[in-house]
Structure 1
Amino acid sequence: MKKHIAIDIGASSGRLISGILNDGKIELEEIYRFDNKITKKEANDFWDIDTLFDEIITGLKVAKKNGIDECTLGIDTWAVDYVLVDYEGNRMQEVYAYRDDRTEKAILNIAKKISIEEIYEKTGIQFLQFNTLFQLSVHDKDELKKAHKILLVPDYLYYRLTGEFISEKTNASTTQLLNISTKEYDQDLLKLIGVKREQFATLFDPGKVVKKVIPNLRDQYDLPQCEVICVASHDTASAVLGVPGTNNKFAYLCSGTWSLMGVEMAHPIVNAQTYAKNYTNEWGAYNTYRFLKNIMGLWLIQEVRRNLKTEISFTDLTKEAERITPFQFLINCNDACFLRPENMIKEIQNYCRRTGQLVPSTGGELARCIFDSLALTYRKTLEEINVITGYSIESLHVVGGGVKNELLCQITANVTQIPVVAGPIESTALGNLLVQMISCGDLENILEARKVIIKSFAIKTYQPIKIKNLDEVYKRFIQLVGTN
């Protein structure tokens, strides 16, 4: 029975999860969990990349002590952030976090040199101020010139484990530097920001073997014999692979700090309409595209909870929200004011005040405001996807941490008026593991893998309940947020 390990790192935590295929079902076991957070040094925000690597090593040591002597291994993390490596193979600088405000005016500055419409035509990627294109555009030019390689975070961790430089495709596409027609880094955009193609590694497909863990590392720390496999290293790409949808009439919602909502496509959609609506065509595993929109997700409630003066669990906040009359307070979840405010509570209250609404004051009211607004945003996004793709979405698959929020799942079903299929929670680690299993021959393809997920994990369906004044509420929401 082959053993596989997913290293899955998010903005607040990371973990190593082992997976095996046993009697037609996938069995998961968490081996090790660790914290992750943005650290501030002087005026900037960074990731502690060395600590993350040390935690991976610690987790692999635990795996060995737990009896895993041999396995495959894959890594997924968040997207867009990068590491500069010099010609001696050493990290050159601290790793900027995407929420750092250095890119606040980057899109405007780039637009002075090249139209943003042309960038979208080249890449098919939506405009977010923290995309790697804009991060590199404001990076110190002398430091960039000295860099031998520019690696995204999971590619750097692969390098530390194996000594090999790779540029995994699903994550590389989020940089807004890949040309959607040539399937390569775009020379015009590279020249625009002062970097060269050779500073990026060879593009790697998910499922391709990278190398074994460096023998010295294995011997020094008594690690398992690990064959490292390139998985879909963008956590959203892995999460979508873990969606148990078996037909082409479903949309997915990867619900966590961000809400990533879209459909899986065989071809990208790049036109004036998708540009105007700011949809993205991120590359997926197995020759697919993730046609989706980024929506500010549970970050909103995470920050509200952090700003509350009293300690309260997410469960209790949700229970309080259940008792609040729905749709009293609505916000545009994607408004830039919510990206990184000093105080999320005050920002939401100020937004409601500015827009002539009642102002939420309690934790329950704030939570209800967020959940209602997210659900309405999901409906708006689904309607746009239906029009753009010509699909008629029949169900919405929710995966990730948001699966645990039963209230939000039910509100979403009620507002969208389609079934919401919730689960599995561990879709990102699952997607990571599925690529390893397919690469090793445990599973034939992703369709078979998704059928195995349905057999292996508890999945709950929320049927829509009719709301009398839904049309009026939705009209008011659209007037509030606009059509884009």
Structure 2
Amino acid sequence: MNRLAAVDLGASSGRVIVGSVGSGTVHLTEVARFANTPVQVQGTLHWDILGLYQGILDGLDAAGPVQSVGVDSWAVDYGLLDGDGRLLGNPVHYRDARTDTVVSPVPAAAHYAATGIANQPFNTVFQLLAAGGTAQLDTARTLLLIPDLITYWLSGTIGAERTNASTTGLLTAGGGAWDLPLVARLGIRASLLPPLRDPGTVAGPMLHAPETLVTTVASHDTASAVVGVPARTDRFAYISCGTWSLVGVELPSPVLTTGSFEAGFTNETGVDGTVRYLRNVMGLWLLQECMRAWGPAVTLSDLLSGAAAAPARRSVVDATDPRFLAPGDMPARIAAALKETDQPVPADPYAMTRCILDSLALAYRRAIDDARRLTGRPVDVVHLVGGGAQNALLCQLTADACELPVEAGPVEAGALGNILVQARALGLIPADLPSMRALLRSSRRYEPRAAQAVG
């Protein structure tokens, strides 16, 4: 068996996972997991990037000898290097408030027409505009998104992997190249932007273990997760469900219509020239923040059991509402949103959990219905992958809301996509995307229930 390592960094934890790749099989073993805890310093929320890197190194040591390692993570955030290649401070967290009042010199519709990327306050472009005029940005010579920064530290080579770079709002639609005229209009130095690399490019040998290659994968974790969708045809929608939920369809080219822009869809680059046409939904962040506010008195299993018995769709909120983006008292914010729309406020954590899950399922339905309408792409099945695939209640509510079967799993779709791209780069598995996906399986199927059965 060939052994490959996936470094998979999520918004709340990081993992090192070893993939054993054989003839027609891929088997994953998690060898390390470490917390990803943001740090507030003088009013700014940062990622503890050095702590994450130490966790990665410890995990790779625990993995033992591997032929290749690839890194994927969340999108949009970046580190800045000086002229000697040294990091200028800890990267700022996308949930930091510094972009709240930023106004772009490029109108949103024109920006969308150029890049296909939805207007989101946390996007890299708005972070750079917020950092304009700071000594750190003026000093910087290179910008590296989080997985590119880790790849640089592991291999010593600099590049911008294309699927993640497409989320910045600085690439041409479809991810072909940096949009230099747009970059100039925004007042951003083009010299900050490194050369683009495609998924499957070998970055180089690992500096402290030259027998191991560092392979550039689909480094946006959602791009890796979509590779890890066990689709049998192209008539599918996907929900990559974790702290965020990314809901959409896979297309051969971007959709740049006015209707698409107004509906809040984004066109992110996928593997093999595909487009991840999707909408961002707040995801399980809503429940995670509520649980943080409630403390350890109730467990997730208790909450889900109580939520399953609670009345259906008694109270729902818009799970794409920006008011839910920042950390804080999530139960109070959800209650305020419900009061504004004259809906009952849940009386206990179980009813609040049901409100959140119903709201997510309905947001998924809206996104999938809008994607079908705007693209003409038929959808026969919804693949829900990532950590949310373990939430049976959410999967069933999603099937009910979408009136489509939901195939849940794999839970580790991001790591699987990461491993598959490495394996293809090394010639270990077939090269085309459908053949790669044929190695994968869903864990459970949920059929939609009749409306009266939903409650």
TM-score, normalised relative to structure 2: 0.97
The equivalent of 1:84 in structure 2 is: 80
1:189 paired with 2:182, answer yes
The equivalent of 1:99 in structure 2 is: 95
Residue in structure 1 matching 2:203, options 177, 196, 210: 210
1:469 CA displacement: 9.5
Q: 1:271 to 1:241 in 2, by over 3 A?
A: same
Tell me the distance in 1 between the aligned counterparts of 2:376 and 2:450. 25
The equivalent of 2:147 in structure 1 is: 154
The equivalent of 1:33 in structure 2 is: 33
The equivalent of 1:264 in structure 2 is: 250
**For residue 10 of structure 2, what is the amino acid of its counterpart?**
G
The equivalent of 1:324 in structure 2 is: 310
Partner SS for 2:439: helix
1:452 paired with 2:410, answer no
Deviations 1:393-450 (A, max 9, x none): 1110000000011011111111111100001000000000000111111111221111
1:468 CA displacement: 3.6
Q: 1:4 to 1:23 in 2, by over 3 A?
A: same
Partner SS for 2:440: helix
**For residue 94 of structure 1, what is the amino acid of its counterpart?**
N
Tell me the distance in 1 between the aligned counterparts of 2:175 and 2:291. 45
The equivalent of 1:481 in structure 2 is: none
**For residue 375 of structure 1, what is the amino acid of its counterpart?**
A
Gaps of 5+ in 1: 219-223, 474-484
Deviations 1:227-269 (A, max 9, x none): 0110000000000000000211100000111110011111111
Tell me the distance in 2 between the aligned counterparts of 1:180 and 1:145. 28
**For residue 234 of structure 2, what is the amino acid of its counterpart?**
N
Partner SS for 2:438: helix
1:193 CA displacement: 3.8
1:396 paired with 2:396, answer no
- Tell whether the 8 Å contact from 1:419 to 1:464 is kept in structure 2 after alignment: yes
**For residue 467 of structure 1, what is the amino acid of its counterpart?**
A
Deviations 1:431-478 (A, max 9, x none): 000001111111112211111112xxx5211011111498xx9xxxxx
The equivalent of 1:476 in structure 2 is: none
Q: 1:79 to 1:148 in 2, by over 3 A?
A: same
Residue in structure 2 matching 1:407, options 366, 389, 393: 393
1:94 CA displacement: 2.1
Partner SS for 2:297: coil
The equivalent of 2:447 in structure 1 is: 463
1:194 CA displacement: 3.1
- Tell whether the 8 Å contact from 2:17 to 2:32 is kept in structure 1 after alignment: yes
1:315 CA displacement: 1.4
Deviations 1:355-378 (A, max 9, x none): 111110211100000111111111
Please identify, of 461-470 and 445-454, the stretch whose mean Cα deviation from structure 2 is larger: 461-470
Tell me the distance in 2 between the aligned counterparts of 1:132 and 1:148. 16
- Tell whether the 8 Å contact from 2:2 to 2:22 is kept in structure 1 after alignment: no
Percent of residue pairs identical: 38
Partner SS for 2:273: coil
Tell me the distance in 2 between the aligned counterparts of 1:379 and 1:181. 25
The equivalent of 2:4 in structure 1 is: 4
Tell me the distance in 2 between the aligned counterparts of 1:96 and 1:181. 27
Tell me the distance in 2 between the aligned counterparts of 1:21 and 1:82. 32
Please identify, of 306-315 and 34-43, the stretch whose mean Cα deviation from structure 2 is larger: 306-315
The equivalent of 1:130 in structure 2 is: 122
1:169 paired with 2:153, answer no
After superposition, residues 51-66 of structure 1 pair within 5 angstroms as 51-64=51-64
Deviations 1:1-53 (A, max 9, x none): 32100000111111111111234221111111111111100100000111111
The equivalent of 2:354 in structure 1 is: 368
Tell me the distance in 2 between the aligned counterparts of 1:139 and 1:193. 12
**For residue 261 of structure 1, what is the amino acid of its counterpart?**
V
Deviations 1:207-240 (A, max 9, x none): 11110011xx33xxxxx73101100000000000
The equivalent of 1:198 in structure 2 is: 191
Partner SS for 1:74: strand
Tell me the distance in 1 between the aligned counterparts of 2:433 and 2:401. 31
Tell me the distance in 1 between the aligned counterparts of 2:334 and 2:185. 38
After superposition, residues 34-49 of structure 1 pair within 5 angstroms as 34-49=34-49
**For residue 459 of structure 1, what is the amino acid of its counterpart?**
S
- Tell whether the 8 Å contact from 1:136 to 1:193 is kept in structure 2 after alignment: no
Partner SS for 1:184: coil
Q: 1:341 to 1:429 in 2, by over 3 A?
A: closer
**For residue 466 of structure 1, what is the amino acid of its counterpart?**
A
Please identify, of 318-327 and 461-470, the stretch whose mean Cα deviation from structure 2 is larger: 461-470
Tell me the distance in 2 between the aligned counterparts of 1:299 and 1:461. 24
Residue in structure 2 matching 1:288, options 259, 262, 274: 274
- Tell whether the 8 Å contact from 1:120 to 1:275 is kept in structure 2 after alignment: yes
**For residue 130 of structure 1, what is the amino acid of its counterpart?**
F
The equivalent of 1:477 in structure 2 is: none
Tell me the distance in 2 between the aligned counterparts of 1:94 and 1:342. 22
TM-score, normalised relative to structure 1: 0.91
- Tell whether the 8 Å contact from 1:341 to 1:347 is kept in structure 2 after alignment: no
The equivalent of 1:438 in structure 2 is: 424
Q: 1:202 to 1:105 in 2, by over 3 A?
A: same
Number of residues of Structure 1 aligned to a counterpart in Structure 2: 453
**For residue 166 of structure 2, what is the amino acid of its counterpart?**
S
Please identify, of 24-33 and 361-370, the stretch whose mean Cα deviation from structure 2 is larger: 24-33
Tell me the distance in 1 between the aligned counterparts of 2:242 and 2:43. 27
Tell me the distance in 1 between the aligned counterparts of 2:324 and 2:85. 38
1:182 CA displacement: 7.9
